[in-house]
């Protein structure tokens, strides 16, 4: 009797889990990859501005441009190669070298300005806005920030049919619908995506 009950319970639980797995999908497009991930994979170049911080050792923190030879100078460590490497790789290198001077160093490297790939790292807003614009990417920038920088939408816009276009690492592109009218007039921020370098936001005109 107990074995039968346990067996039926297990089967019922399995069916419930299968139902949840099959019925839990969504027809909505997945949100775009967050910019923080895109920037982490960005290869640092000459003239980019990087901020190096060491946890509990603020005196070792610096914010410097990458020199023409690709190097940056870090307190205690000296010159470190930054050009052609990701922020994560540079942080790991600095952390390893600092271990000779600081106990258990925790290092973070943040890109504050992307100067070496100026046009690749720009965010563009086109279509039915007051001033189509190409602006430098800034960490934390959202769709709303970019649209406001373009002066907002004009009287011919169909803001809820806007799209964000992003090129992926494998050279394919992805399109994400942006409900701009809901963002601007209803405070619905569900599609106010964090933008990434190279993103293009297009606001179409209404069909009369």
Give me the CATH number covering residue 124.
3.10.560.10
Mean pLDDT for the stretch of residues 71-96? 96
Q: What pLDDT does 37 receive?
A: 47
Domain boundary among 64, 94, 113: 113
Q: How many domains does the chain have?
A: 2
User: Is 86 within a domain?
Assistant: yes
Residues 127 and 199 in one domain: yes
Place of tokens 């190279």: 198
Residues 192 and 124 in one domain: yes
User: Is 28 within a domain?
Assistant: no
Domain boundary among 53, 84, 113: 113
Mean pLDDT for the stretch of residues 5-20? 36
Residues 173 and 189 in one domain: yes
The count of other CB atoms within 10 Å of the CB of residue 79 is 12
Give dist(CA 29, CA 92) in Å, integer. 35
- pTM exceeds cut of 0.75: no
Round the average pLDDT of the chain to a whole number and report it.
84
User: Is 74 within a domain?
Assistant: yes
Mean pLDDT for the stretch of residues 3-7? 39
Residues 95 and 150 in one domain: no
Q: Do residues 132 and 125 touch, judged by C-beta distance below 8 A?
A: yes
User: What's the CATH number where 50 sits?
Assistant: 3.30.1950.10
* Full residue range of the structural domain in which residue 99 is found: 37-113
User: Is 83 within a domain?
Assistant: yes
Short-list 136, 124, 163, CA closest to 47: 136
User: Is 178 within a domain?
Assistant: yes
User: Is 134 within a domain?
Assistant: yes
């Amino acid at each position: 009797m107990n074995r039968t009950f346990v067996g039926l319970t297990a089967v019922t639980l399995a069916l419930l889990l299968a139902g949840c797995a099959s019925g839990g999908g969504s027809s909505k497009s997945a949100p775009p990859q967050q910019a923080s991930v895109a920037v982490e994979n960005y290869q640092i170049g000459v003239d980019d501005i990087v901020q190096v911080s060491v946890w509990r050792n603020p005196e070792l923190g610096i914010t410097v441009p990458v020199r023409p030879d690709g190097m940056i100078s870090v307190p205690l460590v000296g010159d470190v190669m930054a050009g052609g490497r990701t922020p994560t790789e540079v942080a790991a290198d600095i952390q390893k070298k600092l271990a000779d001077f600081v106990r258990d160093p925790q290092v973070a490297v943040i890109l504050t300005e992307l100067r070496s790939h100026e046009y690749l790292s720009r965010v563009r807003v086109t279509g039915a806005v007051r001033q189509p614009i190409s602006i430098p990417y800034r960490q934390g920038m959202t769709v709303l920030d970019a649209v406001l920088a373009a002066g907002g939408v004009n009287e011919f816009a169909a803001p809820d049919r806007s799209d964000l276009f992003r090129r992926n690492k494998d050279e394919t592109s992805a399109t994400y619908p942006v409900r701009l009218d809901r963002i601007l007039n209803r405070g619905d921020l569900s599609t106010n995506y964090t933008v990434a370098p190279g993103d293009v936001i297009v606001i179409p005109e209404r069909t009369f």
